[in-house]
Structure 1
Amino acid sequence: MSSLPQEALHMLGEALVNNIPFNRHIGLTYQTVSEEECVITFDMKPELVGNYIQGILHGGVISSAMDMVGGTMAAVGILHSNPATHLEELQKKIAKLSTIDLRVDFLRPGRGKQFIARAELLRAGKRVAVVRTELRNEEGVQIAVATGSFMVG
């Protein structure tokens, strides 16, 4: 793989994670985007509880975090097809980025104080990217895994 422009990678993280109001509402924070992975984090807070008796993370929040980290990683596929893409052109392509399919496997209850979502690009085509994601808590306990297909072209 060729080395992708750091400015473009940073812009992806900012645009797709930090600038979307819903992501800010649930507390998603962009950490890193590279050719190898995308990482976002978020803290547990009362509004994110899905099972109030057990005090565990809502499945919709888990799915949303995995969709966002996967979509951001899929956007890296846009850069792979044309590493010299100008930021303005990249922003236009990102505006068309959408989730085709997201399959989430919930492995354990969402217990923890902080959650880390990671994604890796499995395949980047001209129109579709396939991404593998996982969610762990601050102790490294794997809570969920997912595979997503995203429209990138």
Structure 2
Amino acid sequence: MGFLKDKALAAIGELMVNKIPFNRHIGLEFDSVSDDLCVIKFAMKPELVGNYFQGILHGGVTSASLDMVGGTMAAVGVLNDNPATHLAKLKEKLTKLSTIDIRVDYLRPGKGETFYAKARLLRTGSKIAVVRMELVNEKGTQIAVATGTYLVG
């Protein structure tokens, strides 16, 4: 990747994760982001427990992390479609990015110490992006999968 592209990807990370108080509250942070894959990680902590008796991750945290990584990947799709876009223009486009629909399939209880939400872009157009996401724990056990549709234009 070129210097400007790396800078744009870093800007997406700053806007999508670090500037949103809820994301900071639940502990989301970037692991990696590229043209093909975005990974966000977070550690299990007592505030994220949904089933107190089993100590498993709350379903809302699962959904929120998948939505966040999906939206971030949709933002990368905007960048890929407009590689020459100036950072100010990119930030302006990202202010309009929003979730249209997300479907989450919960496959297993959210057991683990660290979780990784991963996203891959399925399609991006001038108005809509479609993203496939998954949540795994530190052992690679798949916890949930999701498909999200995002407004990008």
TM-score normalised to structure 2 length: 0.96
1:77-96 mapped onto 2 (5 Å cutoff): 77-96=77-96
After the TM superposition, which segments of 4 or more aligned residues of structure 1 sit over 3 Å from their partners?
none
1:144 maps to amino acid? A
Percent identity over the alignment is 65
1:58-137 mapped onto 2 (5 Å cutoff): 58-137=58-137
Tell me, in whole angstroms, the C-alpha distance in 1 between the residues paired with 2:13 and 2:32: 7
1:91 maps to amino acid? K
The DSSP-based 3-state class of the residue aligned with 2:148 is strand
Segments of 5+ residues of structure 1 without an aligned counterpart are: none
Report how many aligned residue pairs link the two structures: 152
TM-score normalised to structure 1 length: 0.96
Offset at residue 32 of structure 1 (A) = 1.4
Q: Which residue of 2 aligns with 1:152?
A: 152
Q: Cα deviations across residues 18-72 of structure 1 (Å, max 9, x unaligned)?
A: 2211000000001211101101000000000001111100000000000000000
1:22-37 mapped onto 2 (5 Å cutoff): 22-37=22-37
1:14–1:30 contact (8 Å) kept in structure 2: no
Tell me, in whole angstroms, the C-alpha distance in 2 between the residues paired with 1:123 and 1:111: 31
Offset at residue 81 of structure 1 (A) = 2.0
1:13-28 mapped onto 2 (5 Å cutoff): 13-28=13-28
Offset at residue 80 of structure 1 (A) = 2.1
Segments of 5+ residues of structure 2 without an aligned counterpart are: none
RMSD of aligned Cα (Å) = 1.2
The DSSP-based 3-state class of the residue aligned with 1:93 is helix
1:145 maps to amino acid? V
